[in-house]
Amino acid sequence: MSKPKRQHYVPQFYLRNFKDESSDNLINCFNIKTKKPYKASISKVAQKKYFYESSKNNLEYQLSLIEKESSKYINNLVENKKYKYLNNLNIRANLSYFMSLQFIRTNDKREWIINHSYELKDEISQEVEIPQKFQKLFDELPSEEHVKNWHLEYIEKFSLKFFKYFYYKKWILIKNKTNLNFWTSDNPISIWNPINPPGLGRECSFIFYPLSPRLCICLADPFHFSNLDQGRNSSIGLNILKATSFKFKDEVDVINNNMIEVDSCNMNVFSKDCDFEILF
């Protein structure tokens, strides 16, 4: 079996939920660095050549198997929009692991490793005199191969450790009842916190994962989910262990949700339509 050259850090099955209506293969993109919208083939976005292959590791096949299993549950949610489906603990466990993987498998996290490696390198060089025989090796760090190996090891080690930050949340299926679309991005798991800096394990953090232009999973801190304005939906909070639903009827809510996604993205925001006017 031939190995795929283009390896997606956001699965193609997921991106197709946001495909342009004119084609099964196109998606509307907005590059936040160039501030330009464009259409692109789904096969050519949120991917890099051999992104999950290194001299020490190859995660592409393993990730493809996980995607195949999780896609059944995500597509079922998108098609049926039944929040009670999330009360099945096996499905919730599968999606928690899938989202944990999605959170750490992106190019955004690889760039985070690069940036922090340079910061650490600068600190070391200021505090320690590097022996001459190691200077060349030190100057070459962090190499692309080293960073890739570190990232792949990070994915393997922390995907299960991060699982708890998804599973033990209040699961809310947000239904978009407005004329606007939910957007997604090349770093689709976004975190918002009204009090503290955003972080998976931080008190009051909300995790958002758009599933389609009409649907978004929200994982709320079970003791602080009233920040979603539960007055508009009294079913929220009746039982911490049970999933529930929430309707966005005000376009402001959708815009705010999309801006959280923009803040999280690495380079590209994606939408069903070319509706990025607010970003210009």
C-beta of residue 265 within 8 angstroms of C-beta of residue 183:
no
Q: Hey, CA dihedral for 48, 49, 50, 55, is it positive or negative?
A: negative
Residue 106's beta-bridge partner residues?
none
pLDDT for res 131: 63
Alpha carbon separation from 192 to 96, 137, 177, 189 (Å, rounded): 18, 40, 22, 10
pLDDT for res 132: 64
CA-based nearest residue to 170, from 107, 240, 113, 111: 240
Three-state helix/strand/coil letters over 112-139: HHHHHHHHHHHHHHHHCCCCHHHHHHHH
Distance CA 76, CA 121 (A): 47
pLDDT for res 256: 96
Strands of 180-259, DSSP E: 184-185, 190-192, 206-212, 215-220, 244-248
Per-residue pLDDT of the chain (280 residues; tens, 9 = 90+): 456 789 999 999 999 999 998 888 999 999 999 999 999 999 999 999 999 998 888 999 999 999 999 999 999 999 999 999 999 999 999 999 999 999 999 999 999 888 877 655 565 556 666 566 556 655 666 778 888 988 999 999 899 999 999 999 999 999 999 999 999 999 999 999 988 888 888 888 999 999 999 999 999 988 765 544 444 444 444 456 688 999 999 999 999 999 999 999 999 999 999 999 999 8
Tokens 């750490």 correspond to 104
DSSP letter at 92?
Answer: H
- Collapsing DSSP to helix, strand or coil, 107 comes out as helix
C-beta of residue 216 within 8 angstroms of C-beta of residue 209:
yes
Residues 6+ apart with CB under 8 A from 198: 191, 192, 205
pLDDT for res 261: 97
Phi/psi for 160 (5° steps) reads -75, -35
Residue 120's beta-bridge partner residues?
none
C-beta of residue 172 within 8 angstroms of C-beta of residue 217:
yes
pTM of the shown model: 0.88
- Collapsing DSSP to helix, strand or coil, 5 comes out as coil
